[in-house]
Amino acid sequence: MGKLKEFTSSSLFLPVVALAVLLVFNAIFVDGFLTIQMTEDGRLYGRLIDILTRSSSLVILALGMTFVIATSGIDISVGAVVAISAAVVCNLIGGRGDGVAETPMALAMLAAVGVGILCGVWNGFLVSKLKIQAVVATLILMTAGRGIAQLMTEGQIITVYYKPFAYIGGTIPGNILPTNIFIAAAMVLLVVFIMKKTSIGLFVQSVGINPTASRFAGINVTMVIFLVYAFSGFCAGVSGLIESSLIRAADANNAGLNMEMDAILAVALGGTLLSGGKFYVGGSVIGAITIQTLTTTMYALGVSADQLPVVKAIAVVIICLIQSKKAQEMFDKWKAKRAGDQGLEKAVEKA
Amino acid sequence: MGKVLLEMRQIDKVFPGVRALSKVDFTLREGEIHSLMGENGAGKSTLVKVLTGVYPRDGGTVTMEGKEIFPRTPKEAQECGISTVYQEVNLCANLTVAENIFIGREPRKYGFIDWKTINHRAAELLHTLNVDIDVTKTLDHYSVAIQQMIAIARSIDVSAKILILDEPTSSLDEEETQRLFKIVRKLKDQGMGIIFISHFLEQIYDLCDRITILRNGELVGAYDVATLPKLDLIAKMVGKDVSAVRDMEVAAEKSQPSDEVFLSAEHIGATGQIFDVDLKIHKGEVLGFAGLLGSGRTETAELLFGVHPISQGEIKINGKKLDLKDPMTAMEQKIAFCPEDRKVAGIIGDLSVRENIILAMQAKDGILKHIPYKEQVKIADDCIKLLSIKVSSREQLIKNLSGGNQQKVIIARWLATQPELLILDEPTRGIDVGTKTEIQKMAVALAKKRGMSVIFISSEMDEMVRTCTKLIVMRDRRKVAELENDEISSENVMKAIAGGAA
């Protein structure tokens, strides 16, 4: 009983319940939702695997976004950085029809992630050093980023025919699961490791809650803020690899489109307040998977891609209502009043 | 005696866990200057905030000219005729004087703002207060004293019957204060009721007619100034008899500073903040910075902690010249600083007591050298025991602690870094009397037993007199005197602040 109570009051409770509800809904209404089968060449497939694959890049973005939001900032440039990273990796490998890579793939990937970090460093510089408001600072790259990606691809969609490139978002022959699931898992583990072995988590929360007091306690606030944006850029760079590999192309206009909003939503769903402070990495991960599950569910139910935002918007409203203290108070009052009214009715009936 | 203007009866105000006001009565008459007195945390400001609608009252009645009023916001209080001028002038520096006076209620002509009338009336209004200035210039052209008078002019013009002056003289010099008093007396003669809050006893005896004394949220009594000797007033404020107050002036067992100098600052200053301060702090010394609010006490302490860089002079630590460019540099030199504003610069509200305690230590160790959880627990538990911090568990959020316990956690944070110089800026502000004494004793004990250097800053004179072995008196962002041993007394400090020698 004590354990249960501990869980219901824990920060992970809401995100887990939201995901569970969606999964149960799917299990009932979507045929074969829980089925996982194996293909002839030894790969697992099914809707659950699909959800995990599709959510991997969002999970990674949400990791970076969690830290940024915890410092009471926000990074709306990640979608555009995904496009830049995609453009870099595809550009370097090249779109040669004979399937030969112009640059070794590992090098190209490293370069793409590096450019992602560079973007993050730029954002971090603007926010921490020049003290530009986070929304405004990252808006610069959000709007300019796609243009930069366009420049790199010279306005074309570069399609990569080099086979191994598809393995990032697909399955390496012999593996049973798509590679991007492993990448996302590795990123989550990396973050967990950093959280356990360094004190960055404490500093990020401290800065998010009270930057002045943090400064007086000797924390280098500028550095902490700078680091979280750089890390967010790193995450976006990695996501860019996955996103481009999935379609084996760099599409400057559509790669990572609106993903910043989904990442923010995932963090919010996970229980981290947008005002900063306490953050929940686990919640953000589950939040990202929940969003993908929602998307997959809607597609399975035949909702078109154009109408999807409406469903998401409804989900956001519900989440906000659940998290809102004021709404909670109103609900409690309403419940108390109803209980009172019912008591009164009963009393009247008795009389 | 004028007729009763305002009557507050049996006022109660409860905050979570604290009874801030308990059955307090307060009466203000027409043409009366009435002072509210009490130690910090006695409930003065709560009472004022209940009156001005900042807090709703939990019990009791407020009647104005016989009619009961329920101001829920400062604006509603203003409509009832109650105006407040706060210690920090809350006007807009970038608007003209006239605009400041009429903002939000500009006279109009054909739907447009009637600038001519505004400027004319503003000048006229200020003239009645003997302030003849160009009202079309922006506010930041004028000194704080003038700004305060403009704030007063604004409150008078919204036809106030009651004017509350909350620490109006804390940033004024002697001459400016006298000028302000002249205006206040003029308003009194016009029949206005004035509530005057200040912690300068001299000023209260100079200006006020009556005094209402509060202690721990309860009414001690209301007295005519003429019949209440100062010593009696202090005795009533602290709740002891007069002989005990005399005893309090006698220093307890103070620390004996060694000859070794830990830090010396020569002619340090920062542009616009501090001009020329000289000081030496020895090991095992409790050095006090005395002076009024805004005299430069906090700013000097901040220079020593590297919060702001110095623009002149030099700081030497253990004889070595150093450039304290940020708090971390100071921390590396084993300097610790408990800032004045606990809420803004001290606590990290949503973190636990444990996390708050280890924060400075961890910051010193850096991001990569994570203090293992077990060690954190040990440090936190040790500190909680050492300072007898009242917590339900070390994982309790610091924001849920009382002010005194929050302060102890912040002190613990710094003690955990093993400092050699501990700067305590207003460590006893807004906390209960028991904890105040504990903190003073602790400061002395640290100096005595561990040979630590302590800088103690407080607005409460007797606290400084009791704990410090040397006092630096500041005025107008300059050091004006240094008092040692037998010279340390409230009287001498007051004299030094007032600028009159002996």
Tell me the per-residue pLDDT of A120-155, one tens digit each, with 9 for 90 and over: 999 999 999 999 999 999 999 999 999 999 999 888
pLDDT score of B292 more than 80? no
What are the tokens at B261?
């100098």
Q: How far is A199 from chain B (nearest CA, A)?
A: 5
Q: Is B363 in contact with A219 (Cβ distance < 8 A)? A: yes
Q: Which of B360, B368, B371 sits opposite A218 (nearest CB)?
A: B360
Compare all CA atoms of chain A with the CA of B416 and give the residue at the minimum distance: A217
Distances (CA, A) of B319 to A349, B281, B315, B316: 89, 12, 9, 5
CA-wise closest residue to B228 among B212, B243, B245, B249: B212
Mean pLDDT of B434-452: 85
* Most B CBs within 10 Å, among A11, A197, A215, A216, to test the B interface: A216
For residue B502, name the pLDDT band (cuts at 50, 70, 90). very low
- Give A222's contacts in chain B (Cβ within 8 Å): none
More confident residue, B449 or A336: B449
- Give A216's contacts in chain B (Cβ within 8 Å): 307, 327, 337, 339, 345-346
Q: How far is B182 from chain A (nearest CA, A)?
A: 40
CA-wise closest residue to B103 among B157, B62, B53: B157
More confident residue, B48 or A99: B48
ipTM: 0.83
Q: Which of A198, A210, A218 sits opposite B368 (nearest CB)?
A: A198
For residue A96, name the pLDDT band (cuts at 50, 70, 90). confident
- Between CA B397 and CA B378 the distance in angstroms is 18
Q: pLDDT tens digit string along A201-212?
A: 999 999 999 999
- Write the single-letter amino acid at B96: T
For residue B250, name the pLDDT band (cuts at 50, 70, 90). very low
- Give B371's contacts in chain A (Cβ within 8 Å): 199
**Domains parsed from chain B with CATH numbers:** 4-248 (3.40.50.300), 251-325+458-502 (3.40.50.300)
For residue B353, name the pLDDT band (cuts at 50, 70, 90). very high
Distances (CA, A) of A244 to A121, A166, B420: 22, 9, 57
Mean pLDDT of A73-95: 94
Q: Which of A198, A218, A277 sits opposite B363 (nearest CB)?
A: A218
- Give A196's contacts in chain B (Cβ within 8 Å): 370
More confident residue, A236 or A14: A236
CA-wise closest residue to B196 among B174, B216, B215, B181: B181
CA geometry: angle at A259 spanning A253 and A263, to 5°? 165
Q: pLDDT tens digit string along B360-406?
A: 999 999 888 899 999 999 999 999 998 888 888 899 999 888 778 89
Compare all CA atoms of chain B with the CA of A224 and give the residue at the minimum distance: B367
Q: What is the pLDDT of residue B243?
A: 61
pLDDT score of B293 more than 70? no
Q: What is the pLDDT of residue B348?
A: 93
Mean pLDDT of A303-320: 81
pLDDT score of A1 more than 60? no
Q: How far is A207 from chain B (nearest CA, A)?
A: 9
Distances (CA, A) of B459 to B172, B214, B426, B473: 16, 18, 7, 12
Q: Does A197 touch chain B (CB under 8 A)?
A: yes
Give the other-Cβ count within 10 Å of B98's Cβ: 25
- Write the single-letter amino acid at A168: I
- Give B368's contacts in chain A (Cβ within 8 Å): 198
β pairing state of B335-338 and B320-322 = unpaired
Q: What is the pLDDT of residue A347?
A: 64
Q: Does B367 touch chain A (CB under 8 A)?
A: yes
Q: How far is B342 from chain A (nearest CA, A)?
A: 8
- Give A215's contacts in chain B (Cβ within 8 Å): 327, 345
Give the other-Cβ count within 10 Å of B80's Cβ: 22
Q: How far is A38 from chain B (nearest CA, A)?
A: 44
Q: pLDDT tens digit string along B112-127?
A: 888 888 888 888 888 8
Q: Does A71 touch chain B (CB under 8 A)?
A: no
Residues contacting B34, CB < 8 A, separation 6+:
B28, B193, B194, B195, B196, B208, B209, B210, B211, B212
- Burial-class residue A346 by CB neighbours within 10 Å (0-12, 13-18, 19+): exposed
Q: What is the pLDDT of residue B500?
A: 47
Q: pLDDT tens digit string along B160-203?
A: 789 998 878 766 767 778 888 888 898 899 889 999 988 677 78
Q: Which of A205, A212, A278 sits opposite B344 (nearest CB)?
A: A212
More confident residue, B79 or A290: A290
